[in-house]
Structure formats: structure tokens, C-alpha cells
């Protein structure tokens, strides 16, 4: 409800999330005029965008060393030719 509007030309647009917008054609208000407009809003299209992104795992660029813990049995199983 609007009150104390100055005489003149008006246009009304009603918007709400999840509904289609409604436009009332331009109209003129005169002095002491009372006007009522009943607007019906219809459900609009529901749309949702989901964007998923991930960063690749960081590379260890400052060192070429790879580390892992080996059990003594694994070390003994390595052929001697590979250890030189």
C-alpha cells in the first residue's frame, strides 16, 4: 500500500525470488484519487548453477627428493646391482 503519492504518471513492477515479475501498465494518478490494483504473481522457473573446482595437488618444486619408509626386508630384497 502506498499513500501520499504526488499526482502524476506511474508504472509499477513487482519482483520476488522464485516468481515471474509483474508489470502494471503506466497510469496517471490525479489529486484525491484512490486506486487499488490486485496483482497475481505466478511461480517462475527455478534454476540453480553449481560450479565445482579444485586445485591440483601442489608439487614439491624446491626439491627432487622423494621420501618413504622401507622395512629392512624390503631393502634386503633389492638386487645389489640397483644399489650402486
Using a cut of 0.85, tell me whether the model's pTM lies above it.
Answer: no
- CA distance linking residue 14 with residue 41, whole number of Å: 8
Q: What is the mean pLDDT of the chain?
A: 78
Please report which helix (H) or strand (E) contains residue 28, including its range.
strand 22-29
Over residues 60-72, mean pLDDT: 69
Per-residue confidence band for 54, with pLDDT thresholds at 50, 70 and 90: low
- The answer to whether 27 and 10 are in contact (CB under 8 A) is yes
CA distances from 10 to 2, 18, 63, 70 (A): 12, 25, 71, 81
The fraction of the chain above a pLDDT of 90, given in percent, is 0
Of the candidates 32, 30, 42, which has an alpha carbon nearest to the alpha carbon of residue 10?
Answer: 30
Amino acid at each position: 500500500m502506498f499513500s501520499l503519492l504526488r499526482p502524476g504518471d506511474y508504472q509499477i513492477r513487482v519482483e520476488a525470488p522464485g516468481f515471474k515479475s509483474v508489470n502494471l501498465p503506466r497510469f496517471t494518478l490525479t489529486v484525491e484519487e484512490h486506486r487499488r490494483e490486485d496483482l497475481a504473481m505466478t511461480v517462475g522457473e527455478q534454476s540453480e548453477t553449481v560450479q565445482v573446482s579444485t586445485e591440483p595437488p601442489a608439487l614439491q618444486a624446491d626439491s627432487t627428493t622423494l621420501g618413504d619408509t622401507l622395512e629392512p626386508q624390503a631393502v634386503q630384497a633389492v638386487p645389489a646391482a640397483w644399489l650402486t
